[in-house]
Amino acid sequence: MKKNMGQFDRVVRVILALTAIFLFYNKIITGTAAIVLMIVAAVFILTSLVAVCPLYTLLGIRTCQAKHA
């Protein structure tokens, strides 16, 4: 798959995921909201690592810079 996420977008997702993990670990968020938040955090980290967002692909969004040949 072609990368469709830029560096800034990836960093923001990792920061949001780490914030969610912090909230869960310190029991600030509990219950169903915590489970949903952890799933979203896992998706954010996974998509940041591979630099591909399936939702971006569906919507035709591309935040990474184009390489010049």
pLDDT tens string 7-58 = 999 999 999 999 999 999 999 999 999 999 999 999 999 999 999 999 999 9
H helices present in the chain, as ranges: 7-25, 31-50, 54-59
Domain ranges within the chain, ordered by starting residue:
7-59
* Residues counted in the chain: 69
pTM score: 0.86
The pLDDT-based confidence of 68 (bands split at 50, 70, 90) is low
